[in-house]
Amino acid sequence: MSRRIRIVGIGCLLLISMLQANALSAVIEYAGKVNDAGPWGAAFLGTDGYDLYATSLPGEPTSTGGVPFGPVRLTLLPSYVSSISAAGANSYYRSNSYQQLINPQTGTIVHAGLTYNFSPSNQEKGLLSLAIGPNPPPVFYVGYLTDTGDGAWDYPDALRFRQTSGSGAGNSGLVITDQDANFGVDFFFFKVSQAAPGDVITISGYETQCGVNWCNLTAAGLVFTQIPEPASGLFLCLGLAGFIMRSRRGR
C-alpha cells in the first residue's frame, strides 16, 4: 500500500511540475496591424510604454552611425519589460525627411529614426531582444513601428517574435507584411501571453528591397499596451480614434 501511495505521490508531483511548466510557457501570436496611425500613433497606442529610436528635432541634420539606437532614444518601458537590447541591430539613421511623431514625453514634434541590422543578407536575421521583468500581466501587446522612412527598403518584408530564453518556446511564426510604404506610420502588434520574469523575446525578420551590399532590417520603435479581447476590433477603434485626434488637431 505504501509503495502505491509513493507512486501516486510521485505521479502527482510530476503532473504539477508539468502544469507549472506549461503555465509559464509564453504564447506569442500575431494580433493585427494598425495602418496609417499618423504622428500621434506612438503616443496614443503606447499606453504602457514605448521605445523610439534615433529620433531628431526639426532642423537637426541627418546622421548615421554604427551604434544601434542613435544619439537620442525616447524610452519609457513598462514595469514588465526590464530592457530592450540589440540582437542584430548594429546601426542607426536619423533624418528630418522621416515622418513626424508626437513625442510621448513632451507632446512636441520629433522626426522618427531607425535602428537596423546592416548586412547584405536578405534572409531572416535578428534585430532586437526584450527581457521580461517582474510581474508581467497575463496578456500584453507589443507594437512594431514602421512606415516612417523613405520607402519599401525601410519596411520589413516579414517579422517574427519568438521566445529565446526562459521556459517554453513561444513563436509567432513569420508574419508577411504588405509593405504599405506610404509614410503613414504603421504598427504590427504581437500578443504575448503567460510570459514569466526572465523570459527573453527576440524580434527578427527579413528585407528583400536591397541596395548594393545591403538589405537592412529596420525598426523605428516599439510600443506596449494591455487591452482585452477581441484585439482586432479594439485595434481598429484605436486607429480610428487616432485618426479623429489628428483630424481635430489639423483644423
CA 94 from centroid of its chain's CA atoms: 19
Q: What is the mean pLDDT of residues 211-224?
A: 95
Could you report how far apart the first and last alpha carbons of the chain are, in Å? 82
Coil, strand, or helix at residue 190? strand
Q: What are phi and psi of 45, to 5 degrees?
A: -90, -25
Average pLDDT of the residues in 131-140: 97
Q: Residue 96 has what pLDDT?
A: 96
- What Å distances lie between residue 227 and 39, 49, 192, 200, CA to CA? 21, 13, 12, 21
Instruction: Out of 24-38, 78-92, 185-199, 224-238, pick the least confident.
Output: 224-238
- pLDDT at position 221 over 50: yes
**Higher-confidence residue: 5 or 99?**
99
| pLDDT classification of 21: cutoffs 50, 70, 90 | very low
* Best mean pLDDT range from 103-117, 177-191, 217-231: 103-117
User: In terms of DSSP H, where are the helices of 38-156?
Assistant: 41-45
